[in-house]
């Protein structure tokens, strides 16, 4: 769902008519595939049972889109919270390094999609990479953080002066 969301964000850059068509087709294919997997992999032959699960998945999808949109707009802490809930299943023992890698990956991939032409997007001429490629960026110390720490006096320093 995360990759679908990132492509849907890029589809929003198309004309309104094309954007709606592309978004609808992607979501339709996702749900057709989900239904096929229910039948083939889980032997859910009863249409009513499949429809119940598809409705649940659709509600999850809408929640993901809303959470990721908020994260894109409000900043990395909100995006990290959305990814933590939806990708890492709100695991309390999360590896924060992996979460940071994923947030950085989403930002970079959205930037990459933004730089591609509409024709490249339509032709699906897009290469997905692995979030671990963000390790160099995420693993490096922030210059801005270092400057902020140098400006901030240590606790108790004001009381001693």
**Interval 125-141: pLDDT, tens:** 888 887 777 877 877 77
From the number of C-beta atoms within 10 Å of its C-beta (0-12, 13-18, 19+), residue 82 rates as buried
Please compute the mean of the pLDDT values over residues 133-152 and round it to a whole number. 73
| Helices and strands, number each (H, E), in the chain | 9, 0
- Structural domain boundaries in the chain: 2-160
CA distances from 84 to 2, 76, 97, 103, 154 (A): 12, 12, 12, 10, 32
Please compute the mean of the pLDDT values over residues 93-122 and round it to a whole number. 93
Instruction: Flag whether pLDDT at 82 surpasses 70.
Output: yes
Report pLDDT digits (tens) over 17-75.
999 999 999 999 999 999 999 999 999 999 999 999 999 999 999 999 999 999 999 99
């Amino acid at each position: 769902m995360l990759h679908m969301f990132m492509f849907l964000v890029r589809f929003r850059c198309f004309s309104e008519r094309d954007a709606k068509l592309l978004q609808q087709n992607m979501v339709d294919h996702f749900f057709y595939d989900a239904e096929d997997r229910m039948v083939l992999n889980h032997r859910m032959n009863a249409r009513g049972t499949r429809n119940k699960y598809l409705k649940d998945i659709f509600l999850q999808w809408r929640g993901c889109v809303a959470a990721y949109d908020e994260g894109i707009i409000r900043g990395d802490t909100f995006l990290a919270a959305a990814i933590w809930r939806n990708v890492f299943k709100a695991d309390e023992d999360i590896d924060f390094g992996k979460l940071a890698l994923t947030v950085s990956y989403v930002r970079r991939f959205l930037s990459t999609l933004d730089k591609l032409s509409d024709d490249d997007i339509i032709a699906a001429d897009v290469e997905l990479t692995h979030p671990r490629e963000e390790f160099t960026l995420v693993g490096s110390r922030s210059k801005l953080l270092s400057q902020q720490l140098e400006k901030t006096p240590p606790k108790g320093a004001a009381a001693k002066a």
